[in-house]
Amino acid sequence: MKQKLEAIRQEALNAINNADVSSELEALRVRYLGKKGELKAVLNQMGKLSAEERPAMGQLANEVKAAVNDALAAQAKRLEEAALNKRLENETLDVTIPGEPVELGHKHPISIVLDEVKDIFIGMGFTVAEGPEIELAEYNFTRLNTEEGHPGREWTDTFYITPGDKDPKNDAVLLRSQTSPMQVRVMEAQKPPIRIVAPGRVYRKDEADATHSPMFHQIEGMVVDKNVTMADLKGTLNEVIKSLYGEESVTRFRPHHFPFTEPSCEVDVQCFACKGKGCSVCKGEGWIEVLGAGMIHPKVLKGCNIDTDVYSGWAFGMGVERLAMMRFGINNLKLCFENDVRFLEQF
Ligand code: DAH
């Protein structure tokens, strides 16, 4: 029996030390130490030994078992280390390989134009004001002298969130259809002299096509101070248009009507493509409309507690998309909102 045990030890240690995958080690463990393993088979014979022989054999059997166990653990550790070394070798990082270029994003054409307009006004001493896109009818219409019954207030033109009722506490909530409510919000918060521009999104129930979108951007401008006249409005807007379209650009101020300005005007720029002769860019007109403006209506000023004997003001509202389209020769407004990188990459 002693020889048998020694033979098992020899054979097992040999096999274990030569095993080169862990599944092989497990098979060897079962073969030598398992319930039906070789060591167990020898121990089952213990009963045949004399009482004197038994303890020594028992001890030897335990030694063999411990030796096999130790060998299994040691070999398992060696295999693990070898596998790790192999992985480290395979996965080494070659830091000399040139990196993949990182694609940088582009500023959207609308943001480019907006930032430019803001910069021009900031350079003239204006500050930038921002306000809510979800607005009360009171600010979007009523306090801009646009009473109930005006077509702009119809649900067919404006996106209402809640319709409101006669009680002023339940005023209608809507998506602002213009940036003009910012005039009222700023006059409520600030005392004259005021010089602000207020850029932002506006919403109208317009069918999307090459020149319309239910969401677009405007930039509102407003000056309230002593002795402010229409001449200041013309001078300032002419300067702005020259900065945007070049020194030689020609403007035209046409009388118009807006409820919140008196007098009101629309401003056109002579078509830069045909110099006023008429072409496809200006649809044969020779002029391109760029903004609406006027002297702030006394009713609007008074509604904000501004003393109209002391102060007067002018305001304008400009469509940013139109500006961007003219500036970059974009022929379809939809391109501005589709987020196609092939389009956006060009700016
Ligand atoms: N809010 C007007 C619109 O969306 C544009 C406008 C006209 C703004 C005259 C003004 C203004 O501030 O004075 O059509």
Alpha-carbon radius of gyration of the chain:
42
Q: Is 258 in the pocket of ligand 1 (CB under 6 A)?
A: yes
Q: How confident is the model at residue 153 (pLDDT cuts 50, 70, 90)?
A: very high
What is the 292 CA–ligand 1 centroid distance (Å)? Answer: 5
Task: With beta carbons less than 8 A apart as the criterion, state whether 304 and 187 touch.
Answer: yes
DSSP letter for each residue of 108-130: -HHHHHHHHHHHHHHHTT-EE--
> Would you call 184 helix, strand, or coil by DSSP?
helix
Place of tokens 């507690």: 305
Q: Which has more pLDDT, 65 or 216?
A: 216
Q: Using one digit for the tens of pLDDT, what is the confidence trace for 66-80?
A: 888 888 888 889 889
pLDDT digits over 15-25, tens only? Answer: 888 888 888 88
Integer angstrom CA distances of residue 96 from 90, 93, 99, 102, 262: 16, 9, 9, 17, 70
Q: Which of 258, 264, 299, 321 to mutate for ligand 1's pocket (most ligand atoms within 8 Å of CB)? A: 258
Which residues are CB-contacts of 317 (< 8 A; sequence separation ≥ 6)? 178, 179, 180, 218, 219, 220, 221, 291, 292, 293
Tell me, what DSSP letter sits at residue 338? Answer: S
Quick count: other Cβ atoms within 10 Å of Cβ 180?
28
Nearest to 219 by CA among 121, 151, 327: 121
pTM, entire model: 0.72
Average pLDDT value over all residues in the chain:
92
Burial class (CB within 10 angstroms; exposed 0-12, middle 13-18, buried 19+) of 69: middle
- Atom 8 in ligand 1: residue holding the nearest Cα: 317
Of all atoms in ligand 1, which is nearest to the CA of residue 179?
1
Inform me whether the pLDDT recorded for 4 exceeds 90.
no
Q: Long-range contacts for 188-193 (Cβ within 8 Å, ≥24 apart)?
A: 188/304, 192/224, 192/225, 192/226, 192/306, 192/311, 192/313, 193/223, 193/224, 193/225, 193/226
Instruction: Write the residue with the smallest CA distance to atom 13 of ligand 1.
Output: 293
Chain segment 121-141, per-residue pLDDT in tens = 999 999 999 999 999 999 999
